[in-house]
Structure 1
């Protein structure tokens, strides 16, 4: 499944895709971006390739040349007892400051609602991004905890 969307930031195209529909170059570029940001830039040695990508739905923001400007992954829920989950939200350094994070989250929440309208949406946020996610209606539901030596909080967006 691959659905194209346009709008938002000029010349940036949104694309949803199942993992198995991604080409080798797309998988490489996605994993490289996440490694560059989450492991290298944030100086956090952890297993970024966690085995969960094959069961996630992936959303990309792509430049006109096809470069990944941003990405996230979504696990669609099925109700109150099985919430949706958004994670691995990342913006490439060259595309920061263009409000692409807002676009990723708007589109991610919309897709989660489309696929499972009765399911709350959960995310594990780096604690310093609490206000950012709060702008989309997420509320904090945990104390700060360390995940891979980075302070995180659990947040949820109800139905």
Structure 2
């Protein structure tokens, strides 16, 4: 899998369609969560796109300090269900952390993680901050990482 980092204006129509389709496939259909994915924030984000065999199979969006949290953040972390067994989620998080360091010159990162993924994020240096909360009907925790 290769990664592309693009701002919103650099995304092609086809890329944007595939990204939105993947996010909907996982967050709305698979997780059975009705929520407003198109939240008006994509135009402010950097988009980390994981491509395999010319298809988008993994994705995150990144925000600089102050756009979402006080530190840069990673959100909308998604890997196509049929591709998860290959460990691409780990590659995606590593690429996202590196993109924050390269583009925002920051090493502190905050995420709002689905609670069941706490161990996954801990394996990348994130630690839980605060109590569990509901976001769009799904249990989440705030996590912080200081990358090297």
Q: Give the TM-score, by structure 2 length.
A: 0.92
Structure 1 unmatched ranges of 5 or more:
1-11
Residues 70 and 83 of structure 1: is their aligned pair in 2 closer, same or farther, counting only changes over 3 Å?
same
Structure 2 unmatched ranges of 5 or more:
none
CA distance, structure 1, for counterparts of residue 103 and residue 52 of structure 2: 26
CA distance, structure 2, for counterparts of residue 30 and residue 118 of structure 1: 26
Q: Which deviates the most, 12-21 or 116-125? A: 116-125
Per the alignment, in what secondary structure is the counterpart of residue 142 of structure 1? strand
Per the alignment, in what secondary structure is the counterpart of residue 6 of structure 2? strand
Hey, which bits of structure 1, 4+ residues long, moved more than 6 A?
Answer: none
**2:145 maps to what in 1?**
157
8 Å Cα contact 1:144/1:152 also seen in 2: yes
CA distance, structure 2, for counterparts of residue 151 and residue 110 of structure 1: 27
**Bigger strand fraction:** 2
Does residue 79 of structure 2 align to residue 84 of structure 1?
Answer: no
Q: Which of the two has higher C-alpha Rg?
A: 1
User: Which one of 92, 99, 118 corresponds to residue 130 of structure 1?
Assistant: 118
C-alpha displacement of 1:142:
1.6
8 Å Cα contact 2:50/2:58 also seen in 1: yes
Q: Give the TM-score, by structure 1 length.
A: 0.86
**1:83-115 Cα distance to aligned partner (Å, 9 max, x none):** 101000000112111110000101111111223
**2:19 maps to what in 1?**
30
**Bigger helix fraction:** 2
CA distance, structure 2, for counterparts of residue 135 and residue 57 of structure 1: 23
CA RMSD of aligned residues (A): 1.5
